[in-house]
Amino acid sequence: MKYIEEFQDPLLAERLLEDIHATVTRPWALMEVCGGQTHSIIRHGIDQLLPEEVELIHGPGCPVCVTPLELIDKALEIASRPEVIFCSFGDMLRVPGTGRDLFQVRSEGGDVRVVYSPLDALTLARENPDREVVFFGIGFETTAPPNAMAVHQAARLGLRNFSLLVSHVRVPPAIEAIMRSPDCRVRAFLAAGHVCSVMGTEEYPALAERHEVPIVVTGFEPLDILEGVRRAVRQLEAGRHTVENAYPRAVVAQGNPAARAMLDEVFSTTDRGWRGIGVIPDSGWRLAPRYREYDAEHRFSVEGITTREPAACRSGEVLQGLLKPHECEAFGTTCTPRTPLGATMVSSEGACAAYYLYRRLGGTTDAPLEASIR
């Protein structure tokens, strides 16, 4: 398959690895921002092929994982209402809120539906004028534009029975927060190629300069990631800290102007809570004042719901790269993909799920492997 198989070529991977091994002289910790990259790294064993000086830390780039418990509880409250058709992508249905998840709401009679696009939810709103259709809009700069488009379309069509429960987050403020943390060990970032295909790379040079940290935009196939690591290590060894685009087949500096214009039209930036991490200033989007009537939190008066994160789950430390999943006491025992305690075990992009699925069990190999993970 074009753009997949040629980026999994073992001979080229070997050459990149040789270059990395020949270049590195000291320990460096690199963070891959995106959960899709984490899965690729663990699935292909890339971290095990790198020199021991190069450590890959798994960052907070899984959209399901960073959605705060409070938003899940708001979703549960809205989805329980008899007048509501609650629409979401499938992964969110299994994320535990306080005491239950969206699957349970459905089993108790709630009208919870899995859709594949926010526009499917718009269609439902048109077909069910006597019901309230709510779409759970989560994720990074990648999923925000189609959700913005859905709200824009609803307004254009005069659909008053559609609303969006918004939990959108932005990568650059998260990088800023990670670098400002006193425990930060990260010396370079592999930035997420799909985020940059929307937003471009213009937000990154100031970050790289301020924190003296190389940022390399990479893709998701093994050669993409190895090339990202190679470039980051080269910069670190040379004492440089610039932004490099190692994913030019998808990313240009200005990103996607149409998508960015839609984001500017429908959303305003706001402070956002990240699950396990806390509030990061200016790290998210909310609906702009002129679209407030489409804000589900406002429409269903759930703005006042506040929730504390459970102490047992250490996903906050996992999401900040301070803990490897198998170092959590609950990993593989009380917390598995069938019985997840935290979102990083539920989501197909979560680091805990990746370690469980690919049997990174912290030195043991006899723990049961969950076959049902999605």
Cβ proximity to ligand SF4, 149 vs 328, nearer residue: 328
> 16 or 341: whose CB is closer to ligand SF4?
341
Of the candidate residues 67, 142, 315, 320, the single one contacting ligand SF4 (CB under 6 A): 315
> What interhelical angle do 144-157 and 257-266 show, nearest 10?
60
Closest CA to 40 of 198, 189, 224: 224
Smallest distance from ligand SF4 to CB 327, Å: 9
Q: Do 144 and 266 form a contact (C-beta atoms < 8 A)?
A: no
Cα–Cα dist 298/211, whole Å: 38
Given 69, 195, 318, 354, the residue binding ligand SF4 (CB under 6 A): 318
Q: Of the two residues 320 and 344, which places its CB atom closer to ligand SF4 in the complex? A: 344
Is residue 320 a contact point for ligand SF4 (CB under 6 A)? no
Beta-carbon contacts of 332 under 8 Å, excluding residues fewer than 6 positions away, are 326, 356, 361, 367, 368
CA distances from 198 to 145, 170, 253, 257, 326 (A): 9, 12, 10, 8, 33
User: Considering only residues 226, 330, 354, 357, which one is a binding residue for ligand SF4 as defined by CB under 6 A?
Assistant: 330
**Member of 186, 341, 354, 357 binding ligand SF4 (CB under 6 A):** 341
The single residue among 325, 337, 349, 360 that binds ligand SF4, judged by CB under 6 A, is 325
Q: Does 314 bind ligand SF4 (CB under 6 A)?
A: yes
Nearer to ligand SF4, 235 or 336 (CB): 336
User: What is the distance between the alpha carbons of residues 278 and 268, in angstroms, rounded to a whole number?
Assistant: 20
| Options 335, 347, 349, 357; binder of ligand SF4; rule CB under 6 A | 335
The residue (of 20 and 277) whose beta carbon lies closer to ligand SF4 is 277
What is the closest distance, in whole angstroms, from the C-beta atom of residue 298 to ligand SF4 in the complex? 31
Give the residue with the Cβ less far from ligand SF4, 184 or 313. Answer: 313
Asked if 132 and 104 count as a contact pair (C-beta separation under 8 A), the reply is no
DSSP result, 143-177: THHHHHHHHHHHHHHT--SEEEEEEEE-HHHHHHH
Phi and psi of 9, rounded to 5°? -65, 120
Q: Which of the stretches 26-34, 100-108, 123-131, 311-319 binds ligand SF4 when contact is defined by CB under 6 A?
A: 311-319
d(CA 193, CA 322): 24
> Is 352 a residue that touches ligand SF4 (CB under 6 A)?
yes
Q: How far is CA 221 from CA 36, 39, 96, 227, in A?
A: 10, 10, 31, 10
Q: Which stretch binds ligand SF4 (CB under 6 A): 24-32, 105-113, 286-294, 322-330?
A: 322-330
The CB-of-98 to ligand SF4 minimum distance in angstroms stands at 15
**Coil, helix or strand at residue 93:** helix
Least gap, CB of 367 to ligand SF4 (angstroms): 12
Cβ-proximal residues to 129 (8 Å cutoff; 6+ apart), any chain: 161
- Distance of closest approach, residue 18 Cβ to ligand SF4, in angstroms: 35
CB of 160 to ligand SF4, least distance (A): 39
Nearer to ligand SF4, 97 or 325 (CB): 325
Query: What order do you get walking across the sheet with 243-245 strand by strand?
Result: 54-61, 28-34, 188-192, 215-218, 243-245
- E strand residue ranges, 160-311: 162-169, 188-192, 215-218, 243-245, 267-274, 278-287
Query: Minimum distance between the CB of residue 167 and ligand SF4, rounded to whole angstroms?
Result: 18
Is 155 or 367 the residue whose CB approaches ligand SF4 more closely?
A: 367
Q: Which one-letter DSSP state was computed for residue 18?
A: H
Question: Residues 87 to 126: which contact ligand SF4 by CB under 6 A?
Answer: none
Q: Judged by CB under 6 A, does residue 78 bind ligand SF4?
A: no
From candidates 149, 342, 347, 360, binder to ligand SF4 by CB under 6 A = 342
Q: How many residues bind ligand SF4 (CB under 6 A)?
A: 14
Chain residues binding ligand SF4 by CB under 6 A are: 313-315, 318, 325, 328, 330-331, 335, 341-342, 344-345, 352
